Structure 1
Amino acid sequence: MCLKTKVLVYGDCAVNQDPDAKELAQIAISSVKTAQAFGLDAKVAMLSYSTGESGHGRDVDKVRQATKILQKKDKDFLVEGPIQYDAAVNKKVALSKLPNSKVAGYANILIFPDLNTGNNTYKAVERSSNAVAIGPILQGLNKPINDLSRGCSIGDIVNTVAITAIQAGQQ
């Protein structure tokens, strides 16, 4: 997601309907690899309707468990979760919700808890902020393969072909 002031990586917005905690952690790792391939310093937000310890329930617990899986790995990125979107990307909100976080307010990789949330969010951000959404970029495959929405523009096609060519050149 290319915004006027920054680039964000959203995952997963196109394939996995309701990933479990292990799958969410793997989506995060794949998203980090994609972001790093394009020069981003990875700060991962594991998104939820709850931030920190403020909420409970099956959906929040899944995100909390995925975050714990990631925190146990030997990794070269920062991760925070569960965290709400506003606290992940807005420094002022982050200070009130998670003041000691190194990710809150600075996240550039946002991992959605399910396909419904991810797909709706990326389309809402793209259409309401004039952001450029590139992809979906399919990750975790042996070869670069990407997707285009039925409503895509010529610019979307060009951007996706360019990303796919860059991915192919990196292999």
Structure 2
Amino acid sequence: MGLFEKLTANAKAKRQRIVLPEGTEPRTLTAADRIIADGIADIILIGDPAEIMTMAKDLNLENIGKATIVNPADETVIDKYAPIYFELRKKKGISMEEARMTSANPLYLGCLMVKAGDADGQVAGALNTTGNVLRAAFQVIKTMPGIDVVSGAFVMVLPEGSPYGTNGLLIFADCAVVPEPDAAQLAQIAVSAGKTARDIAGIEPRVAILSFSTKGSAKSERVDKVIEATKIAHEMEPSLVLDGELQADAALVPGVANSKAPNSPLSGRANVLVFPSLEVGNIAYKLVQRLGGVQAVGPVLQGLAAPVNDLSRGCYPEDIYKTIIITCNQAIGLKGNN
């Protein structure tokens, strides 16, 4: 059974409520219709109900009527959620009127539904920028305890028979969000990536924080950052199997690890690779994807107290469908740890 078959089965068995704030966007509606038809999640659409149903009819979608539709122009809806936003942001000096206006924004309304326990996760970005999607999530849902940085991971599905990773899977992070993490942020990214390995890939994490140095083979402030990040990550989660600083071959190849890092707990069998900067991570995942024939699933946003995932504005309905499935599994994983 492949990765998405496993994720789909888990989502079906433990149905979650996923809110889609871009409820009048055709690709989003098409994906939502398929999710409902396949019995994967309970869908909440934000948008004008008449417009949503007209569009569903035009697209020949037969299941949208089974979704919960929330109208952001409905005053009773704003009456319910605006006070929540006001309490979250009143120290910033906002008024109740400003809270009501912001709560009518579908991105914020969806996050407020998650915050209130009326939804389990949100997927957006087919129409909105990553910055707007993340801003709403930061302000409303916030980050997990002990984490103050949100990062992006990719699940790399390797070709059959690959000797790397676990069950043909590797996690790459951060490849999407934080340009130049400091040591503390890098440690948090490592811990969050370990959780992504469990919740999305279904593998027990073995985390390598990468560098151009292995155990002191080079001297640099950049190497010092990775060493410090490794120390902080161990303090954050002592039970996590993690090591750094390691070059990529020392992280992935047992023979090289035996030579370069003989005392590493990873023994050259890392399945989570944490990159020292976004520049390195983004280049690495795209090179591996294109040159190695590897499927890159993501980015999966990690570190939030409840799952919110961002889409590319050039996405296809299939991308949205798969992102909803990933979001369901993140929500299931978070509940399992509470």
TM-score of the superposed pair, with normalisation by structure 2: 0.47
Amino acid at match of 1:168: A
- C-alpha offsets along residues 22-71 of structure 1, whole Å, 9 cap, x if unaligned? 00011111111111224311111010011111111111110000011122
Report the CA distance shift for 1:154/1:92 in structure 2 as closer, same or farther (over 3 A): farther
Whole-Å Cα distance in 1 between the matches of residues 205 and 211 of structure 2?
19
Q: What residue number does 1:146 align with?
A: 309
Q: Given the alignment of the two structures, is residue 30 of structure 1 paired with residue 202 of structure 2, yes or no?
A: no
Q: What residue number does 1:126 align with?
A: 289
Displacement of 1:18 after TM fit? 0.3
Q: Contact 2:207 / 2:242 at 8 angstroms: preserved in 1?
A: yes
Q: What residue number does 2:245 align with?
A: 82
Report the CA distance shift for 1:157/1:151 in structure 2 as closer, same or farther (over 3 A): same
Report the CA distance shift for 1:90/1:48 in structure 2 as closer, same or farther (over 3 A): same
Whole-Å Cα distance in 2 between the matches of residues 149 and 95 of structure 1?
41
Whole-Å Cα distance in 2 between the matches of residues 42 and 148 of structure 1?
26
Alignment RMSD (CA, Å): 1.9
Q: Does the residue aligned with 1:40 lie in a helix, a strand or coil? A: coil
Displacement of 1:154 after TM fit? 6.1
Identity of aligned residues (%): 48
Number of aligned residue pairs: give it.
Answer: 171
Report the CA distance shift for 1:101/1:169 in structure 2 as closer, same or farther (over 3 A): closer
Whole-Å Cα distance in 1 between the matches of residues 330 and 268 of structure 2?
29
- For structure 1, the 5+ residue unaligned runs are none
Q: What residue number does 1:2 align with?
A: 157
User: Mean Cα displacement is larger for which, 127-136 or 2-11?
Assistant: 2-11
Report the CA distance shift for 1:156/1:121 in structure 2 as closer, same or farther (over 3 A): farther
For 1:1-171, list aligned pairs within 5 A.
1-4=156-159, 5=162, 6-38=168-200, 39-149=202-312, 156-170=319-333, 171=335
Whole-Å Cα distance in 2 between the matches of residues 81 and 16 of structure 1?
19
Amino acid at match of 2:238: K
Q: Does the residue aligned with 2:290 lie in a helix, a strand or coil? A: helix
- C-alpha offsets along residues 55-91 of structure 1, whole Å, 9 cap, x if unaligned? 1111111000001112234522211110011111112
Displacement of 1:156 after TM fit? 4.3
Report the CA distance shift for 1:100/1:78 in structure 2 as closer, same or farther (over 3 A): same
- For structure 2, the 5+ residue unaligned runs are 1-155, 163-167
Whole-Å Cα distance in 2 between the matches of residues 130 and 108 of structure 1?
18
The structure whose RCO (Cα within 8 Å, separation 6+) is larger is 1
Q: What residue number does 2:144 align with?
A: none
* Higher strand proportion (structure 1 or 2): 2
Q: Contact 2:211 / 2:276 at 8 angstroms: preserved in 1?
A: yes
